[in-house]
């Protein structure tokens, strides 16, 4: 389709970024769907990894096709399908997948039987482990207080939302079907506003449950962190009384093992604690958007969640801070001990070099002694050769002095010549 501007000229064609369509689509994803009263909403959230999410999308596409509809496009993370007299919504998130169905509810009964037309029967394929299961009913205001019988009075919260245009009641507990119940009495909300309130409530239930996962991670890590703290205190205490190189090296090895164990736990919990913080912020944001106020004499959503969720988040934060503090202490102790080991190694190396220097001096003296002896020995043999030569020459009748005289005269000459030769050789070696 050739879209033109108001003056009739064709818009110029630009090369679009491959992310432009995804960004625009994300801005319009998961819109508020208008909901009329009375309405029942069933909401499920499943923890899914990448493989499970991919398999679930393939299954949901086949599910849509089998019911005469198109499945979600490749890369799509949200899709709706008309099903069972209502609407089935499918959404994929970073670590979970949600299925939400809404259909008509009987106007005269609160939390009656679930309509048989819902999709979560035997043919439904759960994509992963179930984490959130909620049932929300949107009703017009009713007479009397019989609806309270469907909740636990010890944890019941009743709040006015959207400037008092609706009332919300829930106890955040599971009913006999394992569903957390929400009851919304619509006073003057439009269908679009009703859809927004319902979606915010379901998001609060989903994200407050996901945020609580960090608490169990923190509880699992707490004994290990305490053990690491005690072990670090013991090792630093030994450092004061340890001076031998071998003992210090052993302590350094133990500190390294302790640091590796701590970092392994911290790395494994980084995502969970970060996700819990993000989910907690989403919960607070959704409650703020609801403009929620406690009904007179009732516990509010904010009051309940701040009493339950906020301490869990503080526990996660405390564990993170203890991990960071312990990591810094381990780093300082390791650096101090490594410095001590390095100093001791340098002292050993210096002693070794001094010993090698003394040994070299001894070797030089020995070499000089050997050289002196070698001069005498070589001179002795050379003088002997001269003596033999003079005798042979005398015997042959050559005019040579007496052999004894020649031998005696040759001794100092030979000694000096050999000494000078050895000295020259040693000097040349010294220069090299």
pLDDT tens for each residue of 51-97: 999 999 999 999 999 988 888 888 788 899 998 889 999 999 989 99
Low-confidence ranges of the chain (pLDDT < 70): 1-14, 16, 18-31, 243, 368, 371-372, 400, 403, 429-432
- pLDDT score of 7: 55
Give residue-wise pLDDT tens across range 363-390: 777 776 776 677 777 777 777 777 777 7
- Residue 11: predicted pLDDT: 59
pLDDT digits 0-9 by tens, 263-298: 888 888 899 999 999 999 999 999 999 999 988 989
In this prediction, residue 1 carries a pLDDT of 44
Question: 103 and 118 in contact (C-beta within 8 Å)?
Answer: yes
Q: Which candidate, 156, 155, 149, 159, places its Cα nearest to that of 111?
A: 149
Domain boundaries, the chain: 30-211, 213-290+297-352, 368-431
Q: Considering the chain, what percentage of its residues have pLDDT values greater than 70?
A: 90
User: By C-alpha distance, which of 130, 104, 115, 107 is closest to 43?
Assistant: 130
Task: Tell me the CA end-to-end span of the chain in Å, nearest whole number.
Answer: 89
Question: CA of 123: how far to CAs of 77, 89, 169, 179, in Å?
Answer: 22, 17, 32, 19
Indicate the pairing of strand 293-294 with strand 86-92. Answer: unpaired
Residue 24: C-alpha distances to residues 93, 119, 192, 199, 282 (Å)? 17, 31, 22, 21, 22
- Give the whole-angstrom CA distance, residue 196 versus residue 309: 23
Distance CA 2, CA 62 (A): 34
> Do the Cβ atoms of 319 and 218 come closer than 8 Å?
yes
Rounded to two decimals, the pTM is 0.74
- Predicted confidence at residue 8, as pLDDT, reads 54
Amino acid 393: pLDDT = 74
Q: Strands 180-186, 129-139: parallel, antiparallel or unpaired by DSSP?
A: parallel
At residue 53, the pLDDT reads 93
């Amino acid at each position: 389709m050739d879209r033109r501007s108001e003056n009739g000229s064709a818009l110029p064609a630009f090369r679009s970024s491959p992310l432009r369509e995804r960004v625009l689509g994300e801005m319009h994803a998961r819109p508020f769907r208008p909901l009329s009263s009375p309405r029942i909403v069933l909401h499920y959230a499943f923890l899914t990894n990448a493989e499970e999410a991919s398999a679930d999308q393939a299954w949901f596409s086949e599910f849509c096709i089998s019911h005469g509809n198109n499945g979600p496009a490749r890369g799509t993370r949200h899709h709706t399908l008309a099903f069972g007299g209502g609407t089935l919504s499918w959404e994929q998130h970073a670590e979970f997948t949600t299925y939400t169905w809404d259909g008509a509810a009987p106007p005269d009964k609160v939390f009656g039987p679930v309509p048989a037309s819902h999709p979560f029967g035997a043919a439904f394929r759960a994509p992963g482990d179930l984490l959130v299961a909620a049932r929300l009913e949107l009703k017009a205001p009713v007479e009397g207080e019989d609806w309270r019988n469907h909740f636990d009075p010890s944890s019941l919260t009743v709040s006015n939302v959207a400037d008092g245009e609706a009332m919300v009641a829930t106890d955040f507990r599971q009913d006999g079907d394992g569903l957390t119940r929400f009851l919304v009495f619509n006073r003057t909300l439009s269908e679009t506003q009703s859809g927004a309130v319902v979606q915010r409530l379901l998001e609060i239930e989903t994200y407050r449950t996901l945020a609580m996962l960090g608490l169990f991670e923190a509880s699992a890590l707490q004994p290990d962190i305490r053990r690491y703290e005690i072990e670090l205190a013991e090792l630093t205490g030994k450092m004061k009384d340890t001076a031998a190189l071998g003992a210090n090296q052993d302590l350094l090895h133990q500190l390294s093992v302790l640091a590796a164990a701590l970092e392994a736990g911290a790395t494994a919990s980084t995502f969970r604690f970060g996700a819990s913080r993000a989910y907690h912020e989403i919960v607070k944001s959704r409650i703020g958007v609801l403009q929620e106020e406690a009904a007179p004499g009732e516990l509010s959503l904010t009051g309940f969640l701040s009493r339950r969720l906020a301490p869990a988040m503080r526990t996660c934060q405390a564990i993170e801070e203890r991990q960071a503090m312990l990591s810094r202490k381990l780093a300082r102790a390791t650096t101090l001990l490594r410095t001590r080991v390095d100093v001791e190694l340098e002292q050993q190396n210096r002693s070794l070099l001094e010993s090698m220097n003394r040994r070299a001096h001894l070797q030089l003296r020995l070499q000089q002694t050997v050289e002196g002896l070698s001069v005498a020995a070589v001179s002795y043999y050379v003088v002997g050769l001269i003596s033999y030569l003079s005798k042979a020459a005398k015997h042959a009748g050559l005019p040579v002095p007496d052999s004894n005289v020649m031998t005696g005269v040759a001794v100092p000459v030979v000694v000096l010549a050999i000494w000078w030769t050895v000295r020259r050789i040693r000097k040349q070696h010294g220069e090299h």
